């Protein structure tokens, strides 16, 4: 593949457990993905990213890997994966595996050996610390509680930035790095086309000291992170026809430029999450808070212009398996017509940005949060921890359910809605998590039949990226940033200018007097009447370059 090709690509994220079940056990599988490849090819995406499918006790749905070389039997076999790769490649689709190398499951052989004895050669694969009076530091796990777990067997603590069953690997140990590169090379040789690296900017831990907050300053974009990622690039995918994207937790623009400048030989692209914290109250996720549009625009545009000017590369997204559904979050799902309108506008705003766009399964049909009404419907370890923590802080049940309804990762993990059949056509058995009640109207079958559906807007936007270089290579210029309802920016490339105008609210928005009106309509979703753009309306205009 030419260097440029991946830049023009669109990635579709699959959460296999919730995508399509062919065995009737209520959980999705690899053969279920094979069955839907024609659909994905018709949508027009270039890459499929599968969240982890390796052996795992599934405490964090596969982000807790117990054997990197085996496929979890829940999802199928290596032969199924081989068939999936071949069937995808035949259709011109490429496949990215998710790889979790900041930590392993505590069920992994390395950890089992490490915990047996202080003398084990695997002891130093992890961070074990002796501490007499409580945990070695006050760092918090991202899933709640202290980040150190006391282990009875050798009476020391081990570090887990996530769940207690996800022990952090010690990248300072060269043997750890070698073992991880071997795993990556195994899957590269197997024929995968890319990796999504889970929380990869946390791999280099700095000093183990108490923190005034939760400790992230000691391990986020840590002291040797660039050195390690560069080394990984050189020892594995660097010279291959390959695509990588790193998930970056609480990172900075400067670091992301460094991670992705091609000459530094680290990664191809990076995700960051700052734009999705605009509905956190005082920085706290587990709150019920309306999103702040001004903040959303400012953060997105800072990252857009910052990364572009620094010669880096963004991965751009509204949704993934850790985030609520965007139409419920930044659009509206209260009214069917407005759901469609706002989902399309959000798609336009995102897909005309600079970077590589990601679509999370179901986003292309405007799937919504399921609005669960009972804690019994939740499955996610982070959400259940948050539930107990909020309970102990004195919140009442209803308040907690409202907060979870807005923030839980399970909002995006409900089964893919394929049809109006039982369980949305996802399974013939009992789904592992409830299907959203609106599947009878919101489903793939209905979307494909309706030429005005959200699906066809996504299809059009994907095609536009393939046919018009301005979408990939154009610079980006924010416009009217102070406008209270509109999100406006332009893209410029080789004497061409595209203007993207979106009303992000449920009220008509007055267009600025001096905004360009003449040009060719590239995309239209909503009309302008008497100088006002309709609620959640948007359009893209090709205008005369200045």
Among 46, 168, 198, 333, binds ligand GLC (CB under 6 A): 198
Tell the smallest beta-carbon distance from residue 94 to ligand GLC (Å): 20
Q: How far is the CB of 221 from ligand GLC (least distance, A)?
A: 15
| Binding of ligand GLC by 168 (CB under 6 A) | no
Cβ neighbours, 10 Å, residue 8: 17
Tokens, residue 95: 């496949």
- Clarify whether 440 is annotated catalytic: no
Measured from the CB atom, the residue of 102 and 443 that comes closer to ligand GLC is 102
Decide: is 296 part of the binding site for ligand GLC (CB under 6 A).
no
For ligand GLC, the closer CB: 247 or 434: 247
**Nearest CB to ligand GLC, comparing residues 322 and 490:** 322
How buried is 68 (Cβ within 10 angstroms: 0-12 exposed, 13-18 middle, 19+ buried)?
buried
Q: Is 364 known to be catalytic?
A: no
CB distance 412 to 363 below 8 Å: no
In the complex, least distance from residue 198 CB atom to ligand GLC, rounded to whole angstroms: 5
Q: What is the CA radius of gyration of the chain?
A: 23
CB-based contacts of 165: which residues, under 8 Å, 6+ apart?
A: 57, 59, 60, 64, 105, 106, 107
For residue 304, the minimal CB distance to ligand GLC (Å) is: 23
Classify burial at 298, counting beta carbons within 10 Å of its beta carbon; exposed 0-12, middle 13-18, buried 19 or more: middle
Given the complex with ligand GLC, which of 21 and 322 has the nearer CB atom? 322
- What is the nearest approach in angstroms of ligand GLC to the Cβ of residue 247? 6
Structure tokens at 270: 């990076």
* Contact with ligand GLC (CB under 6 A) among 60, 168, 221, 369: 60
Query: 257 or 276: whose CB is closer to ligand GLC?
Result: 276
Full DSSP string of 189-248: HHT--EEEETTGGGSS-------SSSSGGGTTT-TTHHHHHHHHHHHTTTTSS-EEEEE-
Nearby residues of 499 by Cβ (< 8 Å), 6 or more positions away: 479, 488, 489, 490, 515, 516, 519, 540, 541, 542, 543
Site string for ligand GLC, 233-272 (x = CB under 6 A): --------------x-------------------------
Query: Mapping DSSP to helix (H, G, I), strand (E, B) and coil, where does residue 1 land?
Result: coil
Query: Which one, 320 or 438, has the nearer CB to ligand GLC?
Result: 320
CB of 166 to ligand GLC, least distance (A): 6
Q: Does 199 bind ligand GLC (CB under 6 A)?
A: yes
Tokens of 486: 């509109």
Catalytic residue, chosen from 60, 198, 364, 369, is 198
With CB under 6 A as the contact rule, the residue among 33, 85, 100, 248 that binds ligand GLC is 100
Q: Give the separation between CA 280 and CA 14, rounded to whole angstroms.
A: 26
Task: Enumerate the β-bridge partners of residue 206.
Answer: none
Contacts (CB under 6 A) with ligand GLC, residues 300-339: 321-322
* The residue count for the chain: 546
**Smallest gap from residue 433 Cβ to ligand GLC (A):** 15
Q: Which of 162, 313, 487, 489 binds ligand GLC (CB under 6 A)?
A: 162
Give the residue nearest to ligand GLC (CB): 63
Tokens encoding 116: 């047996």
Catalytic residue among 55, 98, 193, 247: 247
Residue 256 CB, nearest approach to ligand GLC (Å): 16
| Through-space distance between the first and last CA atoms of the chain, rounded to whole angstroms | 35
How many residues bind ligand GLC, per CB under 6 A?
9
Q: 315, 196, 194, 243: which is closest to 2 by C-alpha?
A: 243
Strand pairing category for 47-50 and 166-168 = unpaired
Residues interacting with ligand GLC, by CB under 6 A? 60, 63, 100, 162, 198-199, 247, 321-322
Which positions are annotated as active-site residues?
Answer: 198, 247
């Amino acid at each position: 593949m030419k260097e440029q090709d991946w830049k023009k690509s669109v990635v579709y994220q699959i959460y296999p457990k919730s995508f399509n079940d062919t065995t009737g056990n209520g959980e999705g599988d690899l053969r279920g993905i094979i069955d839907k490849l024609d659909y994905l090819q018709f949508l027009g995406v270039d890459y499929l990213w599968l969240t982890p499918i390796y052996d795992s006790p599934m405490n964090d749905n596969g982000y807790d890997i117990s054997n990197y070389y085996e496929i979890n039997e829940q999802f199928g076999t290596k032969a199924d994966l081989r068939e999936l790769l071949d069937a995808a490649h035949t259709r011109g689709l490429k496949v990215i595996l998710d790889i979790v190398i900041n930590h392993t499951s505590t069920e992994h052989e390395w950890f089992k050996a490490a915990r047996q004895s202080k003398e084990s050669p695997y002891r130093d694969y992890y961070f074990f610390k002796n501490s007499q009076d409580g945990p070695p530091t006050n760092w918090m796990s991202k899933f709640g509680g202290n980040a150190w777990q006391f282990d009875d067997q050798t009476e020391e603590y081990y570090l887990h930035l996530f769940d207690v069953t996800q022990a952090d690997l010690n990248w300072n140990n060269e043997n750890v790095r070698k073992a991880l590169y071997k795993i990556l090379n195994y899957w590269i040789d197997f024929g995968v086309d890319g990796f999504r690296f889970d929380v990869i900017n946390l791999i280099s831990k700095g000093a183990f000291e108490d923190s005034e907050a939760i400790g992230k300053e000691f391990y986020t974009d840590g002291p040797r992170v660039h050195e390690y990622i560069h080394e990984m690039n050189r020892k594995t995918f660097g010279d291959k026809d390959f695509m990588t994207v790193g998930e970056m937790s609480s990172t900075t623009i400067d670091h992301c430029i460094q991670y992705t400048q091609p000459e530094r030989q680290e990664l191809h692209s990076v995700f960051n999450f700052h734009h999705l914290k605009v509905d956190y109250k005082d920085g706290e996720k587990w709150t019920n808070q309306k999103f702040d549009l001004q903040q959303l625009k400012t953060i997105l545009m800072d990252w857009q212009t910052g990364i572009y000017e620094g010669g880096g590369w963004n991965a751009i997204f509204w949704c993934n398996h850790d985030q609520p559904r965007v139409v419920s979050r930044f659009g509206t799902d209260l009214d069917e017509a407005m759901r469609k309108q706002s989902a399309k506008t959000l798609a336009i705003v995102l897909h005309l940005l600079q970077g590589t766009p990601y679509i999370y399964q179901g986003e292309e049909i405007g799937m919504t949060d399921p609005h669960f009404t009972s804690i019994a419907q939740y499955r996610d370890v982070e959400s259940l921890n948050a539930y107990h923590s909020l309970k102990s802080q004195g919140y009442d049940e209803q308040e907690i359910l409202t907060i979870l309804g807005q923030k839980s990762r399970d909002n995006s993990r409900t089964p893919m809605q394929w049809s109006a059949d039982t369980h949305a056509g996802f399974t013939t058995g009992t789904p592992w998590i409830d299907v959203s009640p609106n599947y009878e109207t919101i489903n793939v079958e209905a979307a494909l039949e309706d030429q005005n559906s959200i699906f066809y807007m996504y299809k059009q936007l994907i095609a536009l990226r393939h046919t018009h270089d301005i979408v990939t290579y154009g610079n980006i210029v924010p416009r009217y940033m102070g406008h209270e309802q509109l999100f406006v920016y332009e893209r410029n490339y080789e004497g061409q200018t595209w203007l993207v105008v979106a009303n992000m609210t449920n009220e008509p928005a007055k267009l600025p007097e001096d905004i360009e009106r003449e040009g060719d309509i590239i995309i239209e979703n909503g009309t302008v009447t008497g100088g006002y753009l309709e609620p959640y309306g948007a359009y893209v205009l090709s205008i005369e370059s200045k």
